[in-house]
Structure 1
Amino acid sequence: MIKAVRALDLPFGDGVTLPLYLLYQTASQETEMIFNGENGDQLFAGWTNKPIIAANIYQFQHPEYQKDFTEQYLQTFHHLYGYEKRIFTSEIYNQLLLNEPREAIQSSLDKEFSTDLLDRLRRATLMLKGAQNIQPRATYLSNENGLWVRSPFCDIDLTQWTFQTSENLFLQQSCEKYILKKSVESWLPSEIVWRKKRGMGVPLTSWCLNSLWLTLGSWLNPTVLKAEGRFLDHLPSQLILGQISGHLRGRRIGEILWLLLIWEVWRVKVLGEDKAKVSLLNPFYIPRPVWQKYANIRANYF
């Protein structure tokens, strides 16, 4: 984990970073150059567009539930947006009020570029999730392992062409990236081309609440967070107990714990910030079932 974090110039909190690092490490033993499909989803309307398209259709039919489009897009990141007051110290929270995240993404969703919903979504996903997250992460991890990486979809002519193409060629009912699949239909077996899209899932909640439990105790315990002064010191334990929000449960718990963990490792190992000594009064040093049972009893009866 520390090697993967050090390979990056930003604290990418996606759990797939670690498996990708190991994959590139293995590939480097057999080759010097790799090709990847990064930006395929962004250019050809991959699966990430479906939830917000469905939300727009629903809200069009039920105006009482309508939300600002920028707000809808921010909700697709599924992390801690909207919970800032419950996770950051007052000093950090006041700074956030001066730096509205909506302003940072409104240019990518600008209607002046296109009034077509799918065009706006593809452009925003390309600018924000592709260019600022997925592609640099793949490049840095590859380079760290001595690999040259090539991304055929990172092509300006191809990109411009896709934004001149009818949206019906990208999404046909529930089938995404339709034109891309048709273009390789004669090259690959149909079960490969037309199989249902699956994300690269990583069992982060299982990792964090089991094998990484003591690691959380080292990096996310209240003493360390309080000394750092960015996050409220009991944020991780409240998250695990479901006290932040009922919406943050299941795999979301692991995703956010991992995000916090990567930030803490990155700020110490890359930025060179000091890390406070771990207090012995650390909830993560107690076996999780025992700690969670005790914490729930206190919450219910005291």
Structure 2
Amino acid sequence: MCGITGIFDTRAARDISRATLQRMNDSQLHRGPDEGSLHLAPGLGMGHRRLSIIDIATGQQPLLNGDGSVVIVFNGEIYNYQELTAELQALGYQFRTKSDTETIVHAWSAWGPDCVQRLRGMFAFALWDSRQQTFFMARDRLGVKPMYYALLDDGMLLFGSELKSVLAHGGLRRDLDPLAIEEYFALGYVAEPRTVFKQARKLSPGHALLIRRGQPVADEKQYWDVRFTLDNRISEADAQEELVQRLRESVRLRLIAEVPLGAFLSGGVDSSTVVAMMAGLSPNVPVNTCSIGFDDPAFNESAFAQMVADRYKTNHRLEVVKSDDFDLIDTLARLYDEPYADSSAIPTYRVCQLARKHVTVALSGDGADESFGGYRRYRLHAMEERMRAAMPAGMRRAVFGTLGRLYPKADWAPRVFRAKTTFQGLARNSVEAYFHSVSILRDPMRQALFSPKLRAELGGYAAQQVFDRHAANAGTDDALGLIQYLDLKTYLVGDINTKVDRASMAHSLEVRDPLMDHELVEWAATLPSDFKIRGQQSKYLMKKAMEPYLPNDVLYRPKMGFAVPLARWFRGPLRQRVQDAVLGERLASTGWFNRKYLQHLVQAHQAGTRDYSAPLWTLLMFEAFLRNVVDEGPALVAAANEPALALS
């Protein structure tokens, strides 16, 4: 696990500044504190920060092939590299290291761009083939590892594991993209391939970019997608057995390391499943497990984690943190480089901090909800779909659209009386309704929040188009399969994977995700939807398969999630901070927000008449992004330039 960065001249072979490349590389020191190296050649600069996990002795990067014609920087892990190495050796390729990085180099020489089809793992890499005058970048299928890039006006292409390394170059224009602002306030993150800066992009998951020097830069090319065929005729009993076998294999592949290894254990189904599989694969060596508990019982799952730890006799570490752990706001803003509004980033940061005290690699349970139907919103969507199917679209829009407008918003009321969102959803088609259900600020709220200036700059663009674009490629009209596909393309990548990558790498911790193994995801997509949700039971097949391995109290308790008490914070200890940030000068200076609506959000929430905690957190993090990234960034680059200028 590492941080990679670089500069590629797409037009010629102009000199690359070593000082600039060094600055870009140093900006990601936290991703790889063990070693840092640069490679410079005409028109090319590559930087690497290393967190040593595999082949500690000889796995340094940037790595060149035997004759120096191919050079690579790579972030991630290739779990099938040993099998690929044997295959490549049989083809005549000679290896000088025992690293998975060298496997990619020779795979490129053997199979060209199709090499990515052979890789099983999490990865983002860039390589240069001087013989073919070809630059190639690729990102893993599910977007576990990040890759940012920007093509400057002078033809220089910048890339990096984090946006901060691209910003550290100093040549990227910092114009904010209004379309990204619309996506952020709808979803809580900026969706791939957009970034918050107009000139920069994210390489999309399952995509690659090939550039031949001197030729126009082509678009990204997709090399993988998942298809929810739902056509697997396997029996339920056989599916349970096969699932356990696949889980065990996926976990086994992720246990290869030359450093201490453990797992997160929240007490939920997913992390407990991973720990159970790990324990079975190493019965004589206790698994290292880490949990975060909260001093507020409403947010504390540590007792359930302890049940699993006791059952498998793990080396369990629990750290209880205060529920008022809100001093990370500016730290998170600097860490994520873009506005990011998932408040569970706070406990995720803390559990990574705890884990790194004891291990260098941790396995997580992320990804199961998307593949096996774990979210409560999936069941609600399925219920709405049955109602939508029972009534013609025109009648639905007329009846439920009117009810949605007239019915009062009742955050304070028991859930059965909170029907406004349901009515609004029933008036829409399936994709529109799902987008509506996951939006932080729904369409009417964003219309009220945004100023005429921002609405004009949007030019009619709506974040709904992100979902429409993916839905057009989903290849299924199954109600559950469609929204699972949408989550795999949006929420999993833009929210979950982004959160875990930045939080873990802030502490130089590698996180591996066995439940996001692409072969497991592909298999799950063939299973009938009633294997995933049956009646009111979510994640049905996975829970049934794990009954011999986990307590029923863990498997069948209500899903809690990794939440923090935002509503209470904003009425109590963060009351003044919210007022200062949301109603302050920095947000006002953008000219993008309606001050009267901002005042309404703050006053109604703090008076207790509405729960606006999620919108307020979204605004709070946007203001922190403006101060810590947009305002501070140019000054940091200038300061970093001073020593280099003094020496020249």
TM-score, normalised relative to structure 1: 0.82
Q: Deviations over 1:115-162 (max 9, x none)?
A: 211110110011111011111211111110111101112211111111
Is contact 2:583–2:595 with CA below 8 Å preserved after alignment?
Answer: yes
Q: Is the alpha carbon distance of 1:225 and 1:10 closer, same or farther for their aligned partners in structure 2, counting shifts above 3 Å?
A: closer
Q: Which residue of 2 aligns with 1:132?
A: 494
Question: How many Å separate the matches in 2 of 1:257 and 1:151?
Answer: 31
The answer to which of 217-226 and 262-271 deviates more is 217-226
Q: Which residue of 2 aligns with 1:261?
A: 620
Q: For 1:76, what is the secondary structure of its paired residue?
A: helix
Q: Which residue of 1 aligns with 2:431?
A: 70
2:389 maps to 1:60: yes
Question: How many Å separate the matches in 2 of 1:21 and 1:93?
Answer: 35
Percent identity for Structure 1 against Structure 2:
21
**Structure 1: stretches of 5+ with no match in the other structure:** 275-302
Give the CA deviation at 1:212: 0.7
Q: Which residue of 1 aligns with 2:472?
A: 110
Q: Higher helix proportion, which one?
A: 1
Structure whose CA Rg is larger = 2
Across the aligned residues of Structure 1 and Structure 2, the Cα RMSD in angstroms comes to 2.1
Is contact 1:225–1:233 with CA below 8 Å preserved after alignment?
Answer: no
Q: Which residue of 1 aligns with 2:520?
A: 158
The answer to which of 177-186 and 164-173 deviates more is 177-186
Q: For 2:471, what is the secondary structure of its paired residue?
A: coil
1:86 aligned to which of 432, 448, 472: 448
Give the CA deviation at 1:100: 2.7
2:350 maps to 1:22: yes
2:404 maps to 1:43: no
Q: 1:107 corresponds to which letter in structure 2?
A: R
Q: Deviations over 1:74-100 (max 9, x none)?
A: 211242221233111211112224323
Give the CA deviation at 1:273: 6.2
2:572 maps to 1:213: no
Give the CA deviation at 1:111: 7.1
Give the CA deviation at 1:242: 4.2
Is contact 2:578–2:602 with CA below 8 Å preserved after alignment?
Answer: no
Is contact 1:223–1:233 with CA below 8 Å preserved after alignment?
Answer: no
Q: Which residue of 2 aligns with 1:240?
A: 602
Give the CA deviation at 1:62: 4.2
Q: Higher strand proportion, which one?
A: 2
1:224 aligned to which of 579, 586, 592: 586
Give the CA deviation at 1:262: 0.5
Q: For 1:270, what is the secondary structure of its paired residue?
A: helix
Question: How many Å separate the matches in 2 of 1:129 and 1:45?
Answer: 14
Is contact 1:225–1:232 with CA below 8 Å preserved after alignment?
Answer: no
Question: How many Å separate the matches in 2 of 1:184 and 1:270?
Answer: 44
Matched residue pairs, number?
Answer: 268
Question: How many Å separate the matches in 2 of 1:81 and 1:92?
Answer: 16
TM-score, normalised relative to structure 2: 0.39
Give the CA deviation at 1:112: 5.8
**Structure 2: stretches of 5+ with no match in the other structure:** 1-327, 397-426, 634-648
Q: Is the alpha carbon distance of 1:112 and 1:12 closer, same or farther for their aligned partners in structure 2, counting shifts above 3 Å?
A: closer
Q: Is the alpha carbon distance of 1:74 and 1:57 closer, same or farther for their aligned partners in structure 2, counting shifts above 3 Å?
A: same
Question: How many Å separate the matches in 2 of 1:10 and 1:75?
Answer: 23
Q: 1:179 corresponds to which letter in structure 2?
A: L
Q: Deviations over 1:248-267 (max 9, x none)?
A: 932xx111101100011012
Q: Which residue of 2 aligns with 1:289?
A: none
Q: Which residue of 2 aligns with 1:123?
A: 485
Question: How many Å separate the matches in 2 of 1:234 and 1:31?
Answer: 49
Is contact 2:449–2:598 with CA below 8 Å preserved after alignment?
Answer: no
The structure whose RCO (Cα within 8 Å, separation 6+) is larger is: 1
Question: How many Å separate the matches in 2 of 1:125 and 1:180?
Answer: 19
Q: Is the alpha carbon distance of 1:222 and 1:5 closer, same or farther for their aligned partners in structure 2, counting shifts above 3 Å?
A: closer
Give the CA deviation at 1:224: 3.1
